[in-house]
């Protein structure tokens, strides 16, 4: 990986001086166009060995471009707010919006490299991280970003030489610390780990550029030229998103699918409802106060047709909880700041802290439901979204979050009845709009999208629970019970520690039961309380 960056590359001062004005003008022009278009963000990762010139490279970019539209993102020790979220949260919250250039001094590569060197990660785990990183960067690029990764390289001798130089100048001596010399000792190990990781994460979409760091003019000019070429090419690139395949024909020619298999006639009597409601709310209240929840969090996802009863179900959950412990996030059209980011960004920003719950009323699944059906995004976009969503939820689970997802299914007739009812009640009238009536017309298309969604995003770790929701009482109890069971299973002693949430969810009986019940909808009528 580093061979061609140890050749003693050199550029003369004269050539440097001759080339810089045009380079600078081109970079500045590209920056202006980038800002004017407001179409894509640029992510520049500046990595490399200590003393190789990462800092100097960044400074040169500031000198050449307009510092007002540059941000440098540095990642020191994570704050308490960051430690209570998935490891990628701090990078998501720092992503530059469209139109801006973000320089990453430190990135999602820093931790895996450090951890592999100290032995905290096995080789296999490092490869898993590499795969995860590749998917993350592919997502960024698919969402329009230009991702350029520079590795400024120094040979071991050059590094030693560099430290000596820095030390001998009183203006730079402070930059050489005992840690620097320590770094020389682990030089070989760093080469081994980083060259492997770079190789595994060098993709056409987000390539690595290894730059020899010794000669300042060569280093700066190389970075500048590569950046200019990439910016120019990306800005000229008007290719629409790849068309993607037509949605595959569904296999349910016999009319049987996970939704049609649900028994929507399931009901629950008033008395049983009241008893169960009180009992389950009490149980939920206790679980949310469980000391073992203090290092976990809960993400609740509600999806369902209009008027399926999401709001009512959320209200029954909220009633059992301390208001200081949860937030309800109603998902509507994204704001301007959210539109300037990858579509998952607006959900990442609401990822809850430890001991907290985030209840999403509609979710990231909008991408494969309403956006797919209404054509708000290209086929290629929603088709890749399944994988992106699976990655997102996996990261949540890895960080100890408990992810519980409900689809509330009602019949077309029941929906019509509820729409009409809503129009009668003053304070419910606002809930029903023209759009709701229009959506009804696409019922079958939506149902097919839901079936695809369940097939592609349900797993033992993050199962979908399909809820027979024609009877509100039945639905609310099923939701509350499922939630309690999932929470209880996840808080079992074996799963208290961070990273163990995954195993807990996989092995817990409750989780397995749920998927089965949801998929097959076999709960016999009349025994609804065990649905």
**Least distance CB 426 / a second copy (angstroms):** 6
The whole-angstrom separation of Cα 527 and Cα 531 is 7
**Of the two residues 171 and 185, which places its CB atom closer to a second copy in the complex?**
171
**DSSP codes of every residue in 297-347:** EEEEEEEESTTSSHHHHHHHHHTTS-GGGEEEEE--SPPHHHHTS-TTHHH
- CB neighbour burial string for 378-399, b if at least 16 within 10 angstroms, e if fewer: bbebbbbbbebbbbbbbbbbbb
**Least distance CB 236 / a second copy (angstroms):** 18
Q: Any idea which residue has 């595959």 for tokens?
A: 248
The whole-angstrom separation of Cα 333 and Cα 393 is 22
**Of the two residues 76 and 246, which places its CB atom closer to a second copy in the complex?**
76
Q: How many CB atoms lie within 10 A of CB 252?
A: 15
**Least distance CB 31 / a second copy (angstroms):** 9
**Of the two residues 429 and 442, which places its CB atom closer to a second copy in the complex?**
429
**Least distance CB 173 / a second copy (angstroms):** 12
**Least distance CB 71 / a second copy (angstroms):** 6
**Least distance CB 77 / a second copy (angstroms):** 9
Contact at 8 Å (CB) between 398 and 499? yes
CA nearest neighbour of 35 among 74, 68, 3, 62: 68
Token reading at 530: 């065990």
First and final C-alpha spacing in the chain? 57
**Of the two residues 68 and 124, which places its CB atom closer to a second copy in the complex?**
68
**Least distance CB 102 / a second copy (angstroms):** 11
**Least distance CB 119 / a second copy (angstroms):** 28
Given the DSSP bridges, would you call strands 42-48 and 146-153 parallel, antiparallel or unpaired?
parallel
The whole-angstrom separation of Cα 518 and Cα 306 is 20
The whole-angstrom separation of Cα 298 and Cα 296 is 7
Neighbouring C-alpha atoms within 13 Å toward the C-beta of 234: 29
Its sign, for the CA torsion 23, 28, 30, 31, is positive
Strand-pairing partners, residue 402, are 298
Contact at 8 Å (CB) between 459 and 518? no
**Least distance CB 436 / a second copy (angstroms):** 15
**Least distance CB 95 / a second copy (angstroms):** 15
Phi and psi of 105, rounded to 5°? -95, 95
Binding site for a second copy (CB under 8 A): 24-25, 28-29, 32, 36, 55, 58-59, 62-63, 66-72, 74, 79-81, 103, 105, 171, 174, 282, 289, 311, 314-315, 318-319, 322-328, 330, 335-337, 361, 426-427, 430
């Amino acid at each position: 990986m580093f061979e061609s960056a140890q050749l003693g590359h050199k550029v003369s001062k004269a050539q440097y001086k001759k080339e810089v004005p045009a380079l600078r003008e081109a970079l500045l022009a590209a920056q202006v166009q980038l800002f004017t278009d407001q179409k894509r963000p640029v992510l520049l990762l500046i990595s490399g060995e200590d003393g190789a010139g990462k800092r100097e490279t960044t400074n040169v970019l500031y000198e050449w471009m307009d510092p007002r539209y540059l941000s440098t993102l540095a990642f020191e020790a994570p704050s308490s707010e960051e430690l209570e979220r998935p490891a990628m949260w701090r990078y998501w919250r720092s992503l530059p919006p469209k139109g801006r250039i973000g320089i990453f001094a430190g990135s999602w590569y820093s931790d895996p490299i450090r951890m592999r060197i100290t032995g905290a990660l096995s080789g296999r785990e490092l490869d898993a991280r590499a795969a995860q990183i590749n998917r993350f960067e592919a997502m960024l690029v698919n969402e329009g970003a230009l991702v350029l990764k520079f590795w400024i390289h120094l040979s071991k001798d050059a590094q030693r030489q560099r430290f000596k130089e820095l030390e001998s100048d009183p203006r730079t001596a402070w930059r050489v610390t005992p840690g620097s010399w320590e770094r020389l000792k682990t030089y070989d190990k760093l080469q081994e780990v980083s060259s492997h990781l770079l190789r595994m994460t060098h993709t056409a979409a987000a390539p690595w550029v290894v730059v020899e760091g010794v000669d300042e003019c060569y280093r700066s000019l190389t970075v500048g030229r590569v950046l200019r070429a990439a910016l120019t090419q990306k800005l000229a690139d008007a290719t629409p998103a790849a068309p993607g395949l037509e949605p595959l024909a569904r296999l349910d020619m016999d009319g049987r699918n996970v939704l049609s298999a649900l028994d929507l006639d399931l009901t629950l009597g008033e008395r049983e409802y009241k008893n169960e409601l009180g009992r389950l709310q009490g149980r939920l209240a206790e679980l949310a106060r469980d000391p073992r929840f203090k290092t976990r969090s809960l993400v609740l996802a509600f999806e369902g047709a209009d008027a399926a009863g999401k709001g009512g179900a959320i209200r029954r959950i909220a009633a059992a909880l301390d208001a200081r412990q949860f937030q309800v996030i109603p998902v509507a059209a994204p704001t301007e700041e959210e539109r300037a980011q990858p579509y998952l960004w607006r959900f990442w920003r609401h990822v809850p802290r430890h001991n907290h719950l985030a209840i999403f009323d509609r979710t990231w699944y909008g991408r494969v439901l309403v956006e797919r059906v209404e054509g708000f995004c290209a086929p290629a976009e929603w088709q890749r979204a399944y994988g992106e969503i699976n990655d997102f939820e996996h990261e949540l689970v890895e960080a100890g979050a408990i992810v519980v997802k409900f689809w509330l299914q009602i019949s077309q007739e029941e929906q019509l009845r509820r729409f009409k009812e809503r129009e009668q009640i003053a304070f419910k009238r606002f809930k029903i709009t023209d759009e709701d009536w229009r959506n009804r017309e696409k019922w079958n298309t939506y149902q097919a999208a839901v079936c695809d969604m369940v097939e592609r995003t349900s797993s033992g770790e993050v199962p979908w629970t399909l809820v027979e929701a024609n009877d509100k009482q039945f639905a609310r109890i099923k939701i509350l019970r499922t939630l309690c069971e999932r929470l209880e299973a996840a808080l079992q002693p074996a799963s208290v520690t961070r990273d163990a949430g995954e195993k807990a969810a996989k092995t817990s009986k409750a989780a397995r039961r749920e998927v089965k019940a949801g998929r097959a909808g076999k709960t016999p009528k009349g025994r609804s309380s065990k649905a």
